Each structure stands twice: as C-alpha cells, then as structure tokens.
Amino acid sequence: MASQSRPTFPARAVITGGMPYGNKNLHFGHIGGVFVPADFFARFLRDRIGKENVLFVSGTDCYGSPIMEGYRKRVEAGYEGTIVDYVRENHNAQKEALDAYGITLDLYAGSGLEPAASFHAKLTDELIRRLHEQGHLLKLSTRQFYDATAGQFLNGRQVKGRCPVRGCKSEKAYADECDLGHQFDPEELIAPVSQLTGTTPELRPVDNWYFDLPAFREELEKLMDEWDVDPQVRPVVTKTVRESLVSPVIFVQNKFREGFDTVANELPTHTLHEPTGNQQSFSVEFANWRDRDAARAVLEGAGVRFRTGKTLLPFRITGNIDWGVPAPDLEDVSGLTVWCWPESLWAPISFTQTALAIAPEGRYGSSDWHDWWCADDAAVYQFIGQDNIYFYCIAQPAMWEALDWGLFQDTPIANHHILFMNKKASSSGKIAPPMAAELLDSYTPEQLRAHWLSLGLDQKAVSFSPKAFDTSVSHKNKKTGEEVLVRDDPRVADPALKESAFLTNIFNRLARSCFYGAANACDGHLPVAEPHAEVIDEARAAALDFERCAYAFDAHGALGVAEAYGRTANKRWGDASKAAKGDDAAYDQALADAFVALRTLTLLMHPCAPWGCEQICEHLAFDPNVFFSWEHAFEGPRELAALAGESCADHAIVALPPRFDFFQKHASQMKK
C-alpha cells in the first residue's frame, strides 16, 4: 500500500523548455528530449493545480551567429528574403512540429519576432543596465577572430577548431564554445579556421561587457548544497556544475617541463601539482582567472604548450555582430549587440510578460509577471538538455542573484541525450537525425510520446531506434542471398512501439469493455453497483504513486505505475466478467469496478496520451474541467455523476460505434 504522504506543489508555475535556434526545423531530439517531457509535466500540473495557474512558454532563439551563418548560406543558394523572413519561416515550421505532437505551449514566441520582440528588447535593456548599476559587469578588451582575406570580424559560428578544454575530445569547437557546451576564450581555440575563406583568422582586440561570474562561486556552492537534497534536481546537474566550481588550472605536458621551469618565476603566485602515477602532465593552480590568464601569456611567449581546466570565467554579455538584440550604451562603449546565450536565459521572463499581456482578461490567476517569477508560492521549471547545464544552472542562477530583483532560482530538469541508433546524432554532424515531422509518416504522436517518456532520460543517455528508420542489416535472404534490412524484416519487433502497445491493446480493451458493457447491460448508463472497497483503494494508491513520480519528473516511473495499474484492472475485469455470465448483478458489479479503473487510468494517462484520454472523457459525458482535475482525483464515476446532480442510473454515456479505438495504430502498421 502506498504511503499517504503527498508532495507539495506551487500555487503558480512557469514551465519552459530550451529554445531551438531559428536556423532550422526541429529534429526528434528537440521534441523527444525536451518538449514532450516538459509537456507531460505541464499537462499534469494543469490538472493538478489548475490551468489558470500554469504558464508553459518557450520560443525560437532568433538571434546570434548560428542564425546569421544559416541565413548567409541560404542567400548564397538564391534566397531573397530578409533575415527576419528566414527566422519566421523556421519559427513557423517549428511551431507546426510542436503542434503535431500535442505540445500545449501557452506561448511559442520568437525572441526577434513580435509580439515578444518588443518585450524581450525592453527587458534586455533593463537587465543589462541593472547589472551595470549593481557593479557586476566587467569591461574587457578581448581578442576576436578577424578574417583578413574577407576583411571582416567573424561571428562565433564562422570559426571552427578543436576544443582546448582538457579531457574534451570535441573536434567541433567554435570561437568560444564547443558542441559539448565547454566555454573558453577565443585565443584558446586549437587550429582555428575561418568558414568564410578557409584561412587561419587573426585575433584583434575589441571591447565587450562581461558578467562577473567568478564573483558568485560561493553563492553557487551554497545553491549546489541545496540542490543536492532537493528531490526535484537531478544529480547530473550538481555534478556538472561542481566541475566548474574549482580554482583555475593550467595543465602542461611533462615534455615541456624544462621550458616551464625556465619561466616559472615570471608567473603569478601559483601552486604546482606534480604528476602522479602514469599522468602525462602536471598542473599549475592559480588563485583567480586573471592570474591564470597572465600565466597563459607568459607560457605562450616561452613556447610552452598547455591546456586549461574548467573553472568559472567572466560570462560574455555583448558582442559586435549585426543580428542581435541591441545592448544599451554604457560608459564609452556603444553600438554592441547582446550575445545570444545570455539573452536566451532571460527570454522565458520576457515570454511570460508577453503571454500575460496578450492573454484574454481572467485567463491566468495573475497577470503580473512578478507573481510567477518572484513570489514565494510560485515555481519555474526549466527543461533542458544536459549540454546546457553551464548556462541554465551556473550563469543564470548567478545572474539572478546579481540582479537583486527577488527572482527565485529555477528548478532545472536536465535530460541526458537521446541517441539515434545508439549514436549521438546532430543535424550538423555525420549522423543526421530524422526530423520530428518525418517520424509522423510512420508513427502516431501518442505512440512516440509514450516511447520517449518511457526512456528514462533522467538516468542516462538512451538510444531511440525506430524500426521504420533502421537501415542496418538484419540477415541475408537464404534463397536470394540479398541483405534484408531491419526496417523490412517482419520478424523484428519495433522498439518504438513497445510502450504504445499498452495504449492500443490493454487501455483500449478496458475502455471498450466498459462502454460496450454499459450499452448492453445498463441501457447506456453507468452501472449502479457500489464498487468494491479494494478497487477504490487500488485506484487511490495508483494515483498517489503516479503523483509522486510526476512531482520528481520521473515520467518513466509514472507511466510504469499507470501501466501496472491498468494491466491489473484489465485482468480483474476479464476474470470477473467471465465468472458473471448469466448473473446480471455480478456483471454490474464487475462493470462498476472496471469503470472506477477506467476513470483513474484515464486521469493518469492524460499527460502522456491526451487525445485518446479526452475522447474517453467525452464518451463518459463528464465535464473535462472536473474529470481531469486532481481536486477530484479520488472520486469515481459515481461521485462525479453526483457532482453533476445525477445518479448512476441517470447519467447517460455516449455510445461507441462498433470496433471503436481510442488509441489507434498508424496506418503503416496495419496488417495488409
């Protein structure tokens, strides 16, 4: 029997997902790894605390070098639209893909598209000025890549090389970050190449504003201590963050020891850590990033090669690319734009402001954004991929602290990667993942939602291996000798359909049995028998277990609870209905128990399989606002009818057509 203790939920909640760049449509990783888990929780929370108290917002990341580079390539191919046209086309395609999967965003905006663009630009200006007033911005002259052949500075994505961070094997690093999320200074990039001309770019000095992130190490350490004991924060978050909460270190290979010793006295105060065991390098630890950078210059001048370790560095706020949110003019620095990563961190706030401003009066419990981002009884849930932890779990919390606006810290929900056929896929890499819309040619949205939610991405990276896209060889045809691909082999089960089999078989069977049984034995009304006490207890226990899993963002566990409950209920119905043949009272009793199970199972599965569950509610003829509300989670059909002023004998249900399916298979999966 489940414990009766229940988790506490906020009075209001903002849910947001990582923002896709505006230079492409969405592939399955965007949908399955971030938006479906976020939508599952958003739908659950609307049912749990009321839809007027939940804001689910996200949008297209419209600015920055990836968009500029994508637009440049399109123009080279003959595109005649503006960069805004280009971004809007991609934004609309992203929105269509999200809609196709039933992602119920209250607002899917664009940081550079109206109506959100004006809110976003205003908030950006206010926020940067506030950081400057509070003394948390550093004006630093740093070197930026310049292509002398092209005669222009290069944006971040127009430079590629190898990541300089020790231990990172990424061969796809840009001007100041690699594709695995590591941050570094441009001069550290190994073997940089201009993507415009293929030449080696120069480094020329430019002035920019940086957020003094290292100053907040102590605050971040305290936050990690809090998150360590927070059941809603996954261990991967605090583990990843703590990797950067260390002193600045330089690693030097042992073969450069003589050169290092020659200039060691010229270095700022440091601690030398000798290699141990079979280590091929020694390390040099510094008190702060400024000393480390001064040491780098000395070592470079002496021809000593080195790599740096992770540490907190000033977080760049501005840049000088054209396509960006204008940065305010501060002191003697003007004409800058905001780097896309910082402004994407506060975009959920500007999207909240936008959603509240354009919503019909009374749509939400409060129209003041502060009540959603600053109030003690509110919460913000940020769904991200693990490679974005640095931004959302290091830079953002420190920035919120620095602003002193009363912003509480978000709850980060970091998922591991969804692999494709057991390999990491990237739309710009060697293994191209299928686009989200493309998958719907072979699967229904509910089938894929059920599968992705069951992968357990909170625990580890998991492969998505849809049979319809599996071009590996299954075997050779014994007669012809021809290779048979997995996708064409009828003997191979489809991993992507494992979870949806519960929907199309067990859940369907239970629902149809209830409706057809009531039509035949109850004259199209609810059964009048009192459900067994143990059936009511089982329903309550399942709901409580599901609620605890959902609270912890454990969709895999929540669906496991629902499936086990549904299978038990379906078997009980099968056994009881067979035993009741010829006994009308016993059949009515079995049907009453089955309807209790159907009501509970439909409530629990609603966040995963909304279309089928809402059809069940419609045929049960209950008000969905009551039926799916957790205020009535422990009330069965008898009690729901009473709320409407009806008895079971009075409450007519909607008749099902013959052979009706609430949860359907894709047309391509039907036997021919």
| Selection from 56, 64, 54 nearest residue 20 by Cα | 64
* Residue 119 near residue 353 (C-beta atoms within 8 A): yes
Q: How confident is the model at residue 20 (pLDDT cuts 50, 70, 90)?
A: very high
Give the mean pLDDT of 615-620: 98
**pLDDT surpasses 80 at 620:** yes
Tokens of 340: 């896309």
pLDDT confidence of residue 274: 95
Q: What does the pLDDT read at residue 431?
A: 65
What mean pLDDT comes out for the span 610-629? 98
Amino acid 322: pLDDT: 84
Confidence check: pLDDT of 428 > 60: no
Position with higher pLDDT, 39 vs 178: 39
Please, where are the H alpha helices in 318-456?
340-358, 370-373, 389-390, 396-403, 436-439, 445-453
Taking residues 340-349, what's their average pLDDT?
Answer: 95
Over residues 439-466, the pLDDT tens digits come to 999 999 999 999 999 999 988 999 999 9
Question: How does the average pLDDT of the chain come out, rounded?
Answer: 93
Is pLDDT of 3 > 50?
no
Q: How confident is the model at residue 172 (pLDDT cuts 50, 70, 90)?
A: confident
| Stated pTM of the model | 0.92
- The mean per-residue pLDDT over the stretch 520-543 comes to 96
**pLDDT score of 589 more than 70:** yes
Confidence at 433, pLDDT banded by 50, 70, 90 = confident
Q: So what's the pLDDT on residue 520? A: 92
Please give the average per-residue pLDDT across 289-298, as a whole number.
95
Percent helix, percent strand, percent coil in the chain, to nearest 5: 45, 15, 35
Residues 323-335, mean pLDDT to the nearest whole number = 94
| Residue 359 banded pLDDT, cuts 50, 70, 90 | very high
pLDDT digits (tens, 9 = 90+) for 548-582: 999 999 999 999 999 999 999 999 999 999 999 88
Amino acid type, 253: Q
- The pLDDT score that the predictor gives to residue 387 is 87
Q: What integer is the mean pLDDT of 509-517? A: 96
Phi-psi region of 499 (alpha: psi -120 to 50; beta: other; left: phi over 0): alpha
pLDDT of 648 above 80: yes
State mean pLDDT over 140-159: 80
pLDDT score of 166: 76
pLDDT at 2: 45
| Helix extents (H) in 383-442 | 389-390, 396-403, 436-439
Residues 6+ apart with CB under 8 A from 412: 233, 234, 237, 382, 384, 389, 392, 393
Please name the residues in contact with 526: beta carbons below 8 A apart, sequence gap of 6 or more.
Answer: 518, 592, 595, 637, 638, 641, 648, 649, 651, 653
In the chain, pLDDT over 90 holds for what percent of residues? 80
Question: 265: how many CB neighbours lie within 10 A of its CB?
Answer: 7
What band does 1 get if pLDDT is binned at 50, 70 and 90? Answer: very low
Candidate from 395-399, 471-475, 525-529 with smallest mean pLDDT? 471-475
3-state SS class at 194: strand
Checking if the pLDDT of 477 tops 90, the result is no
How many CA within 13 A on the CB side of residue 133?
Answer: 10
**Is residue 670 very low, low, confident or very high in pLDDT (cuts 50, 70, 90)?**
confident
pLDDT reading at 5 higher than 90: no
Give per-residue pLDDT as tens, 248-277.
999 999 999 999 999 999 999 999 999 999
Res 633 pLDDT > 80: yes
- The confidence score (pLDDT) of residue 89 equals 97
Mean local confidence (pLDDT), 659-663: 94
Task: Read off the pLDDT of each residue in 287-295 and give the average, rounded to a whole number.
Answer: 96
Q: Decide if pLDDT at 181 tops 80.
A: no
Confidence band, pLDDT 50/70/90 cuts, at residue 427: low
Average pLDDT over residues 44-62: 98
- How far does CA 278 lie from the centroid of its chain? 40
| Interval 117-123 mean pLDDT | 98
pLDDT, position 145: 84
Contact partners, residue 449, CB within 8 Å, separation at least 6: 36, 40, 101, 102, 608, 609
Q: What is the pLDDT of residue 430?
A: 61
Residue 672: pLDDT above 70?
no
Cα of 92 vs its chain's centroid, Å:
19
Query: Lowest-confidence range among 172-176, 391-395, 443-447?
Result: 172-176
pLDDT digits (tens, 9 = 90+) for 35-51: 999 999 999 999 999 99
pLDDT in tens, 224-257: 999 999 999 999 999 999 999 999 999 999 999 9
